[in-house]
Amino acid sequence: MSIDRQMSIRSSPVSCDQHVIDYLKQMQAENPSFFYAIQCDGEQSNRNIFWVDSSFRMNYSYFGDTVRLNTSYIAHHFRVPLISITGLNHHGQPVLFGCGLLHYESDSSYIWLLQNWLHAMSENHPVSITTEPNHHIQMAVSQVLPQTRHRFCKWSIFRETQQKLAHIYQTHPSFDKDFMNCIHETEKVEDFESCWESLLKKYSLINNEWLQSIYNVRHQWVPVYLQDTFFGELNPKIPEQTLNLFFDNYINATTSTQSLFKQYETANSSWNQMEMKADFETTNTTPLLKTPSPMEKQAANLYTRRAFMTFQEELVETLANPATKIEDNGAFTVYRVAKFGEEQKCQKVHIVRFNSFEMKANCSCHMFEFSGIICRHVLSVFRAKNVLTLPSQYILKRWTRDAKRGGGGMEEYGQELASDSCNSLSARYNSLRHEAIKYVEEGAKSISVYNVALDALQIAAKKVSASKKQNLMMNNGVVLNGEMDLGNGSQEMAYQSRSAKEKKIRELTAELDNTNKKCEVYRANLLAVLKDMEEQKLKLSVKVQNARLSLKE
């Protein structure tokens, strides 16, 4: 019996909606890795339900770096109190990580929800999470996901600000623009603080309780305080809720529990088709290149179409954002990057620190940290330094067309599973299940792939059986060939030898990675030298031609 099945049985009270329970039981019967849990408060009408299927786990293994918890259907009092946990795939489209029905809200209900979800995801915490500004959710996130950066949806705060300050919006039409500029146009903390103070003074709102309350939690919704954390937004100007509503066109205020799962399956199917369409367009169409840069061609071949468009916009903007060297101490070079005509506007100037040996750059705008796409300011520095191709550390796998090939996009997730597999039965179970689900889903796509997968499984089963026999004989102090009895001392030597070999492999692997990084740097520098030589050759050719013309004259 699986761990998931055990938990769902323990949590299933007789009083819960039988229609929902029957559907969840059917799903679990069809797929043993399907997980659901139910929380009741003792009354038949009050129950919370949560479920996760294997595709959610797969999505999370690739794109679980940033998460969105959508509770808008509860906030707007829909008939079905649907709650969804979603992320963004490599095309910037929403993907599901978990679903539930939350009939009553409290600190404990959200804690229960997040704990069950985290368990289903093998205790792998996301980098960031975006939610409504709800105090129950805030308490639950702080307890269950203490290391995850928690952001409030700023558009929800904007909407409530319009309600709370309706009289200000009516009497001062310019307030909305000034308020938005204060939030979106300030790129430094000190600029935001100064702008906010000026805004309150200008509209005589220094003692306004609502503005004071949202200012107190500014670190959880004002962009300038969150720009150093990954939230996966390719276009920060698009409202967060538009990235969050997986079921927006499928569930409405009148949707009943009986029709919920039909709409749920329709939404899943539609988004899967949209992802397949985006995959097809990325693979079978060539984007229009706007520069002769080898880096643009490289990015067009690596990124999905949606991610490439964002990168291309940044690359084109380097033409209007020159980099000026302001400091060079040998270890790193500091550049000042500003758009033509805005050099004197301090808030529009960005500082880039560049390490030429490691080919690393840090920009004060933190776009790469926030979105995973390198900014125009760093690209301008690369242009000035003749870096012709994008260094590997600035190619985030989750935005590439290969995001779902090989291991999961969350490489640390795989490493944690591998290291934890020696520590507990449940960790080993989760690790094997994680890999098996990927294998099964790929193997079922066609009959030819299915046959290959089935043959491979049968071979694997024989190897597992042989390994079990070997372990059993080793535990009894017998070598497989039957010629030698290993004592404890000899076994210890064997294990030590294996440990030494594994240590040596890790050291060599680390050395190889380091050498690869150095090769990348040398390659980039060599390309820069070759480009300089070509330019010198061209200049010399012009001089020779001019000299010949002067001799003829």
Secondary structure class of 87 (helix, strand, coil): strand
Distance CA 50, CA 39 (A): 9
- pLDDT for 152 equals 96
Residues ≥6 apart with Cβ < 8 Å to 429: 2, 3
Which strands, in side-by-side order, build the sheet including 323-328? 323-328, 333-337, 350-355, 360-363
Letter string b/e over residues 6-38, b meaning 16 or more CB atoms within 10 A of that residue's CB: ebbeebbeeebbeebbebbbeebeeeebbbbbb
pLDDT of residue 469: 67
Q: H or E element: which one contains 216? A: helix 209-216
The burial of 504, by beta-carbon neighbours within 10 Å (0-12 exposed, 13-18 middle, 19 or more buried), is given as: exposed
pLDDT of residue 508: 77
Distance of CA 474 to the CA centre of its chain: 44
Distances (CA, A) of 483 to 194, 465, 468, 478, 480: 82, 22, 20, 8, 8
Three-point CA angle 166, 169, 172, nearest 5°: 140
Alpha-carbon gap, residue 478 to 483, rounded angstroms: 8
What's the confidence (pLDDT) of residue 368? Answer: 95
Burial class of residue 189 in the structure, from the number of CB atoms within 10 Å of its CB (0-12 exposed, 13-18 middle, 19+ buried): middle
- What is the pTM for the complete model shown? 0.71
pLDDT tens digit at each of 553 positions of the chain: 333 333 333 333 334 467 788 888 888 888 888 899 988 765 555 688 999 998 899 999 999 999 999 998 888 888 889 999 999 999 999 999 999 999 888 999 999 999 999 999 999 999 999 999 999 999 999 999 999 999 999 999 999 999 999 999 999 999 999 999 999 989 899 999 999 999 999 999 999 999 999 999 999 999 999 999 999 998 766 655 555 578 888 888 888 888 888 888 999 899 999 999 999 999 999 999 999 999 999 999 999 999 999 999 999 999 999 999 999 887 889 999 998 876 655 557 899 999 988 889 999 999 999 999 999 999 999 999 999 999 999 999 999 999 998 755 554 443 433 343 344 443 454 456 556 655 665 666 667 777 777 778 778 877 877 776 666 555 544 433 433 343 444 444 444 566 677 777 777 777 776 666 666 666 666 666 666 676 676 777 667 777 766 676 5
Question: Amino acid identity of 211?
Answer: L
State the pLDDT at residue 317.
94
Distance CA 84, CA 241 (A): 12
**Helical axes 257-284 vs 305-317, angle rounded to 10°:** 60
Q: Are strands 47-52 and 94-102 parallel, antiparallel or unpaired?
A: antiparallel
